[in-house]
Amino acid sequence: MRVVERKVETSSVLYRVTRGIGVAAAILSLLVCILIIANNLRVKSLDPIHLPALERLIKELEKNPEDQALREEIQELDLLARKAFFSSQQFNNTGIWLILISLSVMLIAFKTLSKIHQEVPYPEGRDPSDAMIKEAGWRRWAVGGTGLVLVGFALFLALTTRSELDMKMAVVDAPATEPVPTAEAEPAAASFPSREELFKNWPGFRGVDGNGLAPDAQAPLEWDGKEGTNIVWKVAVPKPGFGSPVIWGDRVFLSGGDDSAREVYCFNRANGEMLWRKEVKLADSPAEPPSVAADTGHAAASPATNGSLFFAIFSTGDLVAYDFEGNLAWGRNLGVPKNHYGHSSSLILFENLLLVEFDHAESGRFLGLDAATGKTVWETTRDMGLTWSSPLVVNTGNRMEAILSANPLVVSYDPKTGKELWRLECLGGEVAPSPAFGDGLVYVASDYVKLAAIDVNTAKITWDHDGDIPGVSSPLVVNGLIFYGLSDGGMLCRDAKTGEELWFEDTDYGFYASPVLVGDRIYLMDREGTMHIFTASREFKSLGKPVLGEEAVCTPAFIDGHIYYRGIENLYRIGT
């Protein structure tokens, strides 16, 4: 369409005045905008609540809290700062109104000008005769194309979005995985130590059953690691590790490791002399160890022993068995676990089987290995999240069960076959405490989520608590009571049947080590190296607080009236 040019009287007074008003209003609003921005920047940089002068006066007042004049001076200065701030706010508010008014004036002026300039239509020419067909054609393409783009965008979004919730739902809904009997090995002829033999020694993490119970043992109440009081011997451990010592006969075993090497150690129980030290290097060990957190390290899992062999597992997935003379009996790499902290589930023995909880970010497994040969007897896939807890084998009265707690499931297996017996979704987060068992209830915990008591016969929660949950330390169940230490300090006792809190004892430091019942006393080491000794009773009664003299995160071993303890740097034999 052509338009007819209309002669516009641009020299008329009305036109020029309107244009002038419009431009002036535009300039005014622009200026006010700039002033407000400058004002905002100034106030923001001023930070009236943190004026250096004010802060200096406040510090002075802290030293002389009774100085009334100083107090008044602070109040006056504070008031001034606030007045300045609110004055600037008032300036802003006025400015905003000015902007609004000037923009309105500008719009009216410009609209008037555009009205004066309005073009008079003078149509000429017509659309081509096939315009309608062509228009409909490309409109169809536009609509169809937009629809396809939308579908494509939706599918792209769906394919590129990773949902943790979906993965969790998949784990919960996944059917129980049947164990895979392997042809590698037939269960070896029953050849394993008796219960009596086991109780004379300390075969693994938290003692014989991994339940932290040593009712027949004894231990001293007083020592001082720094002064050497009641310290029989103390030896430096070459490489760091957080696994507890295991003891059989006259031998004390440990594992340790860092980025350069992973090692196992054997000490003479009588005098602390290192009998042998072996670097673990298998044919299929990874060339470089995985990256792990410093407070977990490469040797966080406690080793185990059955009296003829000593077993250890590392962050590299290397699982080894040495005889008591330091000869490698067998070794295999289970695959480098994807575990950002580092693998820390301890080994546990059940009859002639070595049970290995090998949960990691991808395809976790629970394995039953022939302890003598290392060959897989059974293997069960565990499609759930990472975990740092250890398995617990218990006799429920009806059967033996290996109970593993993870995120989000607690699962029970037949330790002989690896067949799943029951599962319950109740945990979340990072599951580090190992389960504890007593009177038909298994107790599981994960920090920030819950502490729950599960009836093993019904696989249902009897009680649970959302607050005051152990983060790393495992609970101890004894005499119908449950005891545990909190990661950020404090010890708790609850009624094991009802979950009712019976007492809470505050401590200066938190707990990574787990409590152990020795006779009728409970020993619980805090992270600063103070052993909290108290009675296993419904009321808190402290029996002593001896100190080690170095940081401590491991759970101790108790034999023959002595305590074997691994500090951050040294291994101790404590007693008289």
Partner 1 sequence: MSPSKVTGKEFRTNLARFRSFTSRPIFRLLLLFCLFGPAPVALAQFRFPAPEFESEYTFPDTTVPSHQSVRQQYLDVGLLLVVLSLASYFVLANRSRKGLWVLMVFSLLYFGFYREGCVCAIGSIQNVALSLFDSSYAVPFTVLMFFLLPLIFALFTGRVYCASVCPLGAIQDLVVLKPIKLPAKLSQVLHMIPYAYFGTAVLLAATGSGFIICRYDPFIGFFRLNGNAPYLYLGAVFLLVGVFIARPYCRFFCPYGVLLGWMSRFSKWHLSITPKGCIQCRLCEDSCPFDYIHKPNVGQVRERREIGVRRLSYLFVALPLMVLLGGYAGSRVATPLAAVNAKVYLAERVLLEQQDPNLESTLETRTFRAMGTSEPELMEQAVTLRSQFKLGGWLLGGFLGLVFAVKLIGISVVRRRTDYLVDKNACFSCGRCFEYCPNDEQHLVNRMEV
Residues in region 371-430 near partner 1 by CB under 8 A: 385-386, 407-408, 425-426, 428-430
Q: Which residue in 4, 11, 44, 398 binds partner 1 (CB under 8 A)?
A: 44
Backbone φ and ψ for 462, nearest 5 degrees, come out as -85, -45
Helix H or strand E segment including 153: helix 131-160
Between residue 490 and residue 549, which ones bind partner 1 under the rule CB under 8 A? none
Between residue 333 and residue 362, which ones bind partner 1 under the rule CB under 8 A? 340-341, 361
Helix (H, G, I), strand (E, B) or coil at 249: coil
The amino acid sitting at 509 is Y
The amino acid sitting at 173 is D
Between residue 268 and residue 327, which ones bind partner 1 under the rule CB under 8 A? none
Q: How far is the CB of 5 from partner 1 (least distance, A)?
A: 15
Q: How far is the CB of 68 from partner 1 (least distance, A)?
A: 12
Q: Which residue in 42, 111, 399, 541 binds partner 1 (CB under 8 A)?
A: 111
Helix (H, G, I), strand (E, B) or coil at 214: strand
Asked if 170 touches partner 1 (CB under 8 A), the answer is no
Q: Are 256 and 237 in contact (CB under 8 A)?
A: yes
Q: What is the rounded end-to-end Cα distance, in angstroms, of the chain? A: 110
CA distance 304 to 296: 18
Q: Which residue in 72, 83, 94, 147 binds partner 1 (CB under 8 A)?
A: 147
Q: Which residue in 15, 21, 24, 43 binds partner 1 (CB under 8 A)?
A: 43
Asked if 142 touches partner 1 (CB under 8 A), the answer is yes
Close Cβ partners of 112 (under 8 Å, ≥ 6 residues apart)? 18
Q: Are 177 and 380 in contact (CB under 8 A)?
A: yes
Asked if 95 touches partner 1 (CB under 8 A), the answer is yes
Q: Which residue in 234, 239, 423, 450 binds partner 1 (CB under 8 A)?
A: 450
Q: What does the block give as tokens for 166?
A: 């979906």
Helix (H, G, I), strand (E, B) or coil at 401: strand
Q: Are 237 and 291 in contact (CB under 8 A)?
A: no
Q: Which stretch binds partner 1 (CB under 8 A): 345-353, 444-452, 499-507, 513-521?
A: 444-452
Q: Which stretch binds partner 1 (CB under 8 A): 101-109, 283-291, 494-502, 523-531?
A: 101-109
Q: Which stretch binds partner 1 (CB under 8 A): 86-94, 174-182, 307-315, 436-444?
A: 86-94
319 burial (CB, 10 Å; 0-12 / 13-18 / 19+) is buried
Q: Which residue in 8, 14, 80, 155 binds partner 1 (CB under 8 A)?
A: 155
Asked if 175 touches partner 1 (CB under 8 A), the answer is no
Q: Which stretch binds partner 1 (CB under 8 A): 27-35, 231-239, 284-292, 415-423?
A: 27-35
Q: Which residue in 150, 176, 180, 236 binds partner 1 (CB under 8 A)?
A: 150
CA distance 565 to 548: 9
Q: Which residue in 87, 90, 114, 498 binds partner 1 (CB under 8 A)?
A: 114
Between residue 219 and residue 258, which ones bind partner 1 under the rule CB under 8 A? none
118 versus 260: smaller Cβ distance to partner 1: 118
CA distance 405 to 429: 12
Q: Which residue in 66, 164, 196, 539 binds partner 1 (CB under 8 A)?
A: 164
Return the DSSP state at 205.
T
Asked if 7 touches partner 1 (CB under 8 A), the answer is no
Q: What does the block give as tokens for 518?
A: 């020795």
Q: What does the block give as tokens for 406?
A: 């993870």
Q: How far is the CB of 503 from partner 1 (least distance, A)?
A: 21
Q: How far is the CB of 444 from partner 1 (least distance, A)?
A: 13
Asked if 146 touches partner 1 (CB under 8 A), the answer is yes
Asked if 64 touches partner 1 (CB under 8 A), the answer is no
Asked if 91 touches partner 1 (CB under 8 A), the answer is no
Pairing of strands 516-518, 213-214: parallel
282 burial (CB, 10 Å; 0-12 / 13-18 / 19+) is middle
SS3 labels along 264-328: EEEEECCCCCEEEEEECCCCCCCCCCCCCCCCCCCCCCCCEECCCEEEEECCCCEEEEEECCCCE
CA distance 367 to 357: 7
Q: Which residue in 45, 163, 291, 398 binds partner 1 (CB under 8 A)?
A: 163
Q: Which residue in 12, 64, 75, 457 binds partner 1 (CB under 8 A)?
A: 75
114 versus 542: smaller Cβ distance to partner 1: 114
240 burial (CB, 10 Å; 0-12 / 13-18 / 19+) is middle
Strand order of the β-sheet with 246-248 is 246-248, 251-257, 262-268, 274-279
100 versus 176: smaller Cβ distance to partner 1: 100
Q: Which residue in 80, 143, 180, 270 binds partner 1 (CB under 8 A)?
A: 143
143 versus 221: smaller Cβ distance to partner 1: 143
13 versus 158: smaller Cβ distance to partner 1: 158
Asked if 46 touches partner 1 (CB under 8 A), the answer is no
